[in-house]
A and B are shown apart, each in its own frame.
Chain A
């Protein structure tokens, strides 16, 4: 296996929306940028989302301040105020940023980006979320065109990041594997930008996420000693499918789908909610459903029924249905639930599905992590969304913060004289090289499945002390098996078991941080719901939980939330 070394001014890890934006902007300031991804440019969760993007206020009476307040209320006051401020004021810039590369947001009848062309999602006070007729794929394509046509960006696809390279408290770059050849690639840079996305795959199949969302970034940042924050805040999207097996976990739509007259009915036929579900945030709807699920009052598929028939005489909802049918958005419903369900005449079976990680690598408003020369952008970061994210804000966040991270690299100077020590490179390679052809008894994909089942059952929508404690000990057992008993094939050309092994390690690291944080927070807030502490406790828990690896231990600390409770009128 060869070892290839590369020198770049900036290395961007992850090529979804955040990574591509950071790379494009960094290329304005620096002469050589590497964009590294284990899939292709424009993959990951950005590619498969609906790509609805919030703007800073186009409606009469709306303003960035109100958006900011909505996000903070939605985040239940755990948000990082400075980052929310940045996002809420810059959101409209994000719209222009992606449109210049070819993406298109739906206009109103006069061809303008007005309030009439925007949706009002749950938790938002105004119509301000623009719709992408081409969804996330169109966004991904526009970004790929931009990247492909930017000379300074060198593209590394099918390249799996294995670890960050740290010397004397500085991140010097990253170690990766070229999956097509199993060669090791050493990226040395004066600025490393982490943009690896979320960890929904921990809950497969009960997730809306792409197969690549295995939490790689959280794990390698934690391993390098960075601080992570709010790791217990995993957003479960309320309306996702739950059968048949190949569609379980697949996303349906925001609470907006329920319209003003939609009804949520539990497995016993009792009405759980019957009006204005469309105004609720994701966390609020999930919490409603979680109560019924925890009490076992579910359909035979483990979910609740969403009755949309009441909206058949609501003109706005009929228009909404037509717009979605044009996009073939709900063909999966026709396929799985039947023609009547597709036409809203029969209720839809819905279950919450792991969707977005509010927590992550701790950053400030300049995308600096707590490690020198390491930046982070997008879902891999924590703090912006607090305890719960509002719809259409993540798509804005990845571009606003991506642009910011790219700008910040302008300050980095190429440290040509400081090469990464060969001994450090060999140390890091040794940690993973032995995985090739490892002769144990448990395949990584099998351990992944065990971990996923554990997370679904014990660290899911509702948590409690007993199950969290059990989960922690099981994670310990799985870590042990991973360390000592893995079986990995010896193929050189695209070794999928090697990928599984690395992802398994990363998923275990994430799972551990989620469980530890979830155990510490003894209250229910936003996406974090505890059966044994069902109420919100503002007196003790207006705080964020920070995790950092020190040596072999994970140390936790609490920091006071920097939110002001007095919001602007």
Chain B
């Protein structure tokens, strides 16, 4: 794969309106080696996604501007230039068993609105490109596959219960919302995550940690009413070990120092 990435400038006439038109012009008239992908030319197929000024976007629908920087998507092996290798997308399909198990004898199927939102995904891969958790050794296959599993979860025809599976998958999402911002179909993956987590918490008792996080005013009042004692307590090694073990609060993390809030500045 590309071991010596480099940038190259091209000048394109103003008659080119979209980035894809510009790329086609460059290939046809200037550089016969330029590699890039496209399919339908009008935002349907999802093959032409590249980073445009750092943001994953569809080349066919992005208007071209002077000085634009075009790069291949992140997190995929680059073949060369703007072309990426998408063949690695098949393995997670198998790993997560992404396929419908049809319920027998189902006559009527009224799908929830979440289903219709999720099926809009055209696999442009903008979400994976920007996901900060992807490829960090945590075995997270990105929002892309989260969307696929969530689609099966919301599909009323599906026999398999996926809530538990989704829970372990979505735990790794840090809700940074970069995938939401990039998605050309406005699939709000972070909202789906939150909804799924909401569904989960309806079924299980809330963990102590999550109770603490969801009552910030109360906790804030408690820790700032006795700041000195609290700060000393949280510096004790065994306290942090217990918090790590019982509450799931990472012991290697440095907790903030609390002080009494005074009314005057």
Contact = CB atoms under 8 A, between A and B. Distances in A.
A491 B33 contact: yes
B27 interface: yes
A136 B42 CA distance: 14
Looking at chain A's contact residues, the main secondary structure is loop
B194 interface: no
A134 interface: yes
Nearest to A444: B32
Interface stretch (B87-95, B220-228, B241-249): B87-95
Interface string B90-114: 1001100111101000011111000
Contacts of B108: 107, 110-112
B103 to A, nearest CB: 11
A399 B185 CA distance: 28
B21 interface: yes
A212 interface: yes
B122 A137 contact: yes
Contacts of A148: 90, 93-94, 98-99
A273 interface: no
Interface string B110-131: 1100011001111100000000
B230 interface: no
Nearest to A445: B28
A512 B36 CA distance: 30
Interface centre among A43, A146, A494 (most CB of B within 10 A): A494
A47 interface: yes
A137 B17 contact: no
Nearest to A158: B87
Interface stretch (B49-57, B78-86, B161-169, B175-183): B78-86
Contacts of B60: 246
B85 to A, nearest CB: 7
B35 interface: yes
Given A133-B116, A137-B44, A493 B109 contact: no
A182 to B, nearest CB: 12
B146 interface: no
A141 B123 contact: yes
A2 interface: no
B110 A245 contact: no
B73 interface: no
Contacts, number: 138
Nearest to A151: B94
B80 A210 contact: no
A138 interface: yes
A489 B32 contact: yes
B93 A145 contact: yes
A186 B185 CA distance: 40
Given A102-B99, A112-B108, A493-B80, A47 B45 contact: yes
Given A107-B109, A449-B28, A180 B85 contact: yes
A48 B80 CA distance: 26
Interface string A131-159: 00111111001101110110000010110
Given A48-B40, A134-B119, A210 B33 contact: no
Contacts of B89: 40
A40 B79 CA distance: 15
A149 B17 contact: no
A549 B28 CA distance: 33
A93 interface: no
Interface string A196-221: 00000000000000111000000000
A99 interface: yes
Given A48-B44, A145-B100, A111 B21 contact: no
Contact of B119 (A138, A144, A158): A138
Contact of A494 (B80, B123, B151): B80
B100 A47 contact: no
Given A43-B39, A110-B108, A155-B90, A104 B155 contact: yes
B20 interface: yes
Given A133-B116, A149-B97, A491-B33, A141 B121 contact: yes
B258 interface: no
Contacts of A149: 93-94, 97-99
A100 interface: yes
Given A39-B39, A210-B39, A496-B27, A101 B100 contact: yes
Contact of B45 (A110, A111, A210, A449): A210
B43 to A, nearest CB: 8
A397 interface: no
A247 B42 contact: yes
Contacts of A137: 44-46, 121-123
Given A40-B86, A111-B108, A245 B15 contact: yes
Interface centre among A40, A100, A158 (most CB of B within 10 A): A40
A273 B42 CA distance: 29
Contact of A145 (B15, B34, B99): B99
A497 B32 contact: yes
Nearest to A250: B42
Interface string B60-71: 100000000000
Contacts of B27: 445, 496
A123 to B, nearest CB: 25
Interface of B: 15, 17-18, 20-21, 27-28, 32-35, 38-47, 60, 79-80, 83, 85-87, 89-90, 93-94, 97-100, 102, 107-111, 115-116, 119-123, 148, 151-152, 155, 157, 185
27 contacts: A41-B90, A47-B45, A99-B157, A101-B100, A102-B151, A102-B152, A102-B155, A104-B109, A104-B115, A110-B110, A133-B116, A137-B121, A144-B90, A145-B93, A149-B97, A157-B86, A158-B85, A180-B79, A180-B85, A210-B45, A245-B21, A246-B41, A246-B60, A250-B42, A443-B32, A494-B79, A494-B83
Given A144-B93, A148-B99, A157-B86, 7 more contacts: A39-B47, A102-B151, A104-B155, A137-B123, A138-B119, A211-B41, A496-B27
